[in-house]
Amino acid sequence: MPGQVVDTESAREFMREALQKITEAELAAIADECLVKHERVRSLLARPSGAPPTEPELRALLRSIFSTRRRTTEILDRVGAGPLAGWIGDLVAPRRPVEARFQAFCDRLEGFPSSVSYDLAGELLHFTDPERYWLWTRWVWDPKTRTGALPLVTMEEYDLHAPSVGAMYLRVGEATAFVHETGRAAGFTRIGQGAFGVDVYLACVYCVYVYTTVRMRMTQEFNRVIPPLPELCRRFLGVYKMEI
């Protein structure tokens, strides 16, 4: 077991910063919207009949994920609806260890940026079964730039990197679980009634990071282009104007 994982004081400070730009009621509303997204994703990917999603359903699904929204047509054109539906079925069916399924799915998307493949895999797993699987997107942890919400609220000594994308998914899950449990005790991930409080919290952390970074690097005119925190949080979580 690792030592202390969560930098509790930094984690609290990010929540204090976020609450200057969003109300607790709106945080709960976003968590509820994540629950709606989960129900819709599950209805497509975990049908009792086992029928795969159709091309229009896949298109709506891809457009409800932050990193694939603008790549939807490219992904469907290059992969094809039939193969993609089959790969997704293999990913979400719990017949093998999750790290093996995650790795296989990402390997099949060779040719796309790695951030697209692990974002897509992480979203599909998490929103199909949020009690079993966690969220990994580039704004949660980007191994290429070593940035994201998780390294902002975990101890510097805690290494999220791993030798493979499947193993890294497990590391992200471990860190997310620590943030969730620490946050529940301290109050900053007790958002909404479902399993999405930690997602909303991490999205808020990254929003605060984005605002701080942009404020330092850009003029006030550019700052005005960035959406307010509630909208930006929804965009990161794929619940802003959901199409699924």
pLDDT of 4 reads 87
CA 83-89-95 angle, to 5 degrees, is: 130
Rg (CA), the chain: 17
- Identify the residue with better confidence: 220 or 119: 119
Instruction: Specify the pLDDT at position 216.
Output: 64
Cβ–Cβ under 8 Å, residues 200 and 237: yes
Average pLDDT over residues 59-86: 96
Which of 19, 38, 35 has its CA nearest to residue 27? 19
Write out pLDDT tens, residues 8-44: 999 999 999 999 999 999 999 999 999 999 999 999 9
Looking at every residue in the chain, the average pLDDT score rounds to: 93
The whole-number pLDDT of residue 223 equals 59
pTM of the model: 0.93
- Average pLDDT estimate for 129-135: 96
How large is the average pLDDT for residues 180-196? 86
Q: Mean pLDDT across the stretch 51-64?
A: 95
**Inter-residue contact 154 to 179 (CB < 8 Å):** yes
Rounded to an integer, what distance in angstroms lies between the CA atom of residue 136 and that of residue 161?
Answer: 13
Model confidence at 219: pLDDT above 80? no
Q: What is the mean pLDDT of residues 42-68?
A: 93
Determine the pLDDT at residue 142. Answer: 96
Say whether pLDDT at 193 is over 80. no
Band (pLDDT 50/70/90 cuts) for residue 145 is very high
Task: Reply yes or no on whether the pLDDT at 224 is more than 80.
Answer: no
- Who has greater pLDDT, 78 or 48? 78
Among 5-14, 80-89, 165-174, 187-196, where is mean pLDDT lowest? 187-196
How many percent of the chain have pLDDT more than 90?
82
pLDDT(1) > 60: no
Task: Indicate the range of 82-91, 190-199, 203-212 predicted with least confidence.
Answer: 190-199
Q: Above 90 in pLDDT, residue 90?
A: yes
Q: Which residues contact 148 (CB under 8 A, 6 or more apart)?
A: 138, 139, 140, 141, 142, 206
Residue 191 binned pLDDT confidence (cut-offs 50, 70, 90): confident
